[in-house]
A and B are shown apart, each in its own frame.
Chain A
């Protein structure tokens, strides 16, 4: 299935983005775009630069060259809180909850920027992860890994995102829970939140993505509809075949 990606203005555009660390190139002349209300995937081998790309986009790492344009505005020099304010929210890999704070407090940390619309966002979190409603008073550190991942995603949703960057959202999750999260991502997309996902569960990630990019050694080497990329021989070689 082919999609026409030229019809609407991208929510995020990355133009000629490069970044080096201690003289070593990590990201090389990256160009990509993310269409609103879609799921876009970035796949690549371990060490390809996926996490660094997300850290640069979210403002956690500065000093890259090139342009990062969110909804028409250049954000590449903005500090991280200004990036969040504009709706780009990064959910890093791992179960990074505040372990001694309750589930509700963890979620509310995400809403620190504005309390306006907090209830509606909390409702969205509970609609997507209903079990969190029963756990709101529990210390987040006592939850299972899967529930902690729900909290970190929920915290991201509480930040009123237009674009969520999800780094390895399936890591450490059981196959059943991975299926469940795939459905949750579709629900989020339908709720108007655009998703940019990176992850090693390549088949699943590309299956839910309207568009995908392959990142190799800091370069984008392929792009296309998620389903088409899955069939790509080069992708098979770099990620599946020994």
Chain B
């Protein structure tokens, strides 16, 4: 399959502390790849390097075979990569609709005309279930609604690769199930997705493949069911065999 994202030999250290050590993996077009790992494994640093918020000490990031190492986030966004954040970065005083329109206006290489921006944003709000809140100030949304808003705004930039950073953190299992359905829908639309989350109720059902990190290194990689029973993952991440069922 055609590669969408290639991470080649990426390393990063903060002072003497090696956070990422020679990370290499490929994400194919249309694939959903989950990244799991204990706190401190290097997941956020890896995400931030891929999204252009940090530069690697060594290694390359390629998008659709183009070397994009060191590109800033806005350039990566216009090239077709969008992301969400664990703590939603919304514009609190703008309306829900205006928030999404910001993505549609500024995330494209050639900005669409204003009526299209509005129409596209309304369609996305409908898709994530926030159409009824379009005129409300974003600050009035619950955490789940803020996550959905951020997702809609990311989608408004027209990405081909979507990065979801702990989108389920702090949500009820019911809300997580809703998100799972939404991510499955995006996957069916052909979107390539890279996600990291501690909630296995989300990562397991939506991922084609999971990659486990520990202490800055890839310790296991494979199909969700196989990977979750890998003794190295159990030792470093789950702690117990029952952990996957304990998430509620």
Contact = CB atoms under 8 A, between A and B. Distances in A.
Given A173-B198, A179-B240, A201-B247, A144 B172 contact: no
B137 to A, nearest CB: 11
Interface residues of B, number: 38
B44 A145 contact: yes
A89 B65 CA distance: 53
Interface string A143-163: 111110100000000000000
A174 B240 CA distance: 12
B2 interface: no
Contact of B143 (A47, A173, A180, A238): A47
B174 A201 contact: no
A168 B166 CA distance: 15
B238 A172 contact: no
A204 B246 contact: yes
Given A142-B17, A145-B40, A239 B172 contact: yes
A23 interface: no
Given A145-B40, A200-B171, A240-B174, A172 B198 contact: yes
A46 B246 contact: no
Contacts of A176: 38, 236-240, 243
Interface in B37-89: 37-41, 44, 86-87
A64 interface: no
A200 B198 contact: no
A74 interface: no
Interface string A35-61: 000000000011100000000000000
A179 B234 CA distance: 13
A144 B172 CA distance: 24
Nearest to B197: A172
Interface of A: 45-47, 93-94, 142-147, 149, 168, 171-180, 200-204, 238-242
Closest 9 CB pairs of A and B: A144-B40, A146-B39, A176-B239, A47-B142, A175-B243, A174-B38, A145-B39, A203-B248, A46-B144
12 contacts: A45-B172, A46-B144, A47-B145, A144-B41, A145-B44, A146-B39, A175-B238, A176-B240, A178-B246, A202-B248, A238-B174, A242-B174
